[in-house]
């Protein structure tokens, strides 16, 4: 993968698995807060996964839900509230909801996996990327391929992007049954602007991540990131299988697994001199 977002190499030039802190890292329920993002970075994570919603007056926030109710002491739909009102809410009663501008400027070396949660955030996401010239630092994703592509069309330069649910489902279901040449031709059209498949281990009862899935993705020059993995044994299994990245709530566990495998930036392979 040639886009700068995916370049994650050790001192010897070896590509390392991408470790991504899901909504930052917090054992105290402070998801998508600057405290959680800083904790991830302090652990050594270069990649942060987050979500974007937009206030009624156009401010791009890092927040997962449509409403403030679940994770903050505030109430109401983000898209219907002005930024000044949202700024009064506190995540778990403690931390303010950060803006995209705050994260991109306060943690200038972090790479950001941006999940565009609603249509109200299409223009504000593209405008924020342009404003900060953050094209090389972001990956744009969404469950909706149409919404994701709407963001990409507004950008002046290419950015990394991952497939939505429909495209990922087609790849998963058709891969084992279509003849290889037909599958590749079809997927090159369906995934024409996609660089990554970010998927769970399974969708319901349907298994997704397998050796064949990874092999088919790599044949199309796509990377495979798996979410949301919080068990060390499963992390080891997926890395051994050949996935290119893992998204986790347990950044501490994933860091330990990668250090054990000699696949953490600045780390050493098992048995190597330090």
Active site residues: 22, 64
56 phi/psi in degrees, rounded to 5: -60, -25
Residues 94 and 151: their CA atoms lie apart, in Å, by 32
Bridge partner list, 245 = 18, 225
Beta strand residue intervals within the chain, DSSP E: 18-22, 47-54, 60-62, 90-91, 95-96, 111-116, 138-141, 160-161, 196-200, 202-203, 206-207, 223-227, 245-248
Length of the chain, please? 274
- For the chain, how far is it from start to end, CA to CA, in angstroms? 30
The answer to whether the CB of 142 falls within 8 A of the CB of 117 is yes
How many C-beta atoms surround the C-beta of residue 222 within 10 A? 20
Residues 41 and 251: their CA atoms lie apart, in Å, by 10
214-220 LR contacts (CB < 8 Å, sep 24+): 214/241, 214/242, 214/243, 216/171, 216/175, 216/183, 217/171, 218/242, 219/184, 220/184, 220/187, 220/188, 220/191
């Amino acid at each position: 993968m040639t886009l700068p977002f995916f370049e994650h190499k050790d001192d010897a030039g070896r590509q390392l698995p991408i470790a991504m802190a899901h909504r930052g890292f917090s054992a105290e329920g402070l998801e998508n807060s600057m405290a959680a993002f800083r904790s991830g970075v302090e652990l050594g994570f270069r990649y942060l996964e987050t979500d974007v919603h937009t206030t009624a007056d156009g401010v791009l926030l890092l927040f997962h839900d449509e409403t403030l109710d679940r994770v903050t002491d505030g109430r109401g739909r983000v898209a219907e509230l002005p930024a000044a009102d949202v700024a009064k809410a506190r995540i778990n009663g403690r931390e303010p909801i950060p803006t995209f501008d705050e994260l991109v400027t306060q943690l200038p070396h972090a790479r950001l996996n941006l999940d565009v949660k609603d249509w109200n955030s299409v223009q504000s996401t593209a405008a924020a990327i342009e404003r900060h010239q953050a094209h090389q630092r972001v990956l744009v994703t969404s469950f909706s391929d149409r919404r994701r592509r709407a963001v990409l069309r507004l950008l002046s330069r290419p950015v990394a992007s991952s497939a939505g649910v429909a495209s990922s489902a087609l790849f998963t279901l058709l891969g084992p049954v279509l003849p290889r040449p037909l599958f590749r031709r079809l997927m090159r059209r369906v995934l024409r602007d996609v660089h990554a498949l970010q998927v769970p281990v399974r969708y319901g009862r349907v298994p997704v991540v397998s050796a064949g899935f990874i092999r088919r993705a790599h044949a199309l020059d796509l990377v495979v990131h798996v979410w949301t993995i919080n068990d060390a044994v499963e992390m080891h299994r997926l890395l051994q299988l050949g996935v290119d990245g893992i998204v986790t709530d347990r950044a501490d566990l994933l860091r330990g697994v990668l250090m054990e495998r000699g696949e953490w930036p600045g780390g050493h392979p098992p048995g190597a001199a330090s």
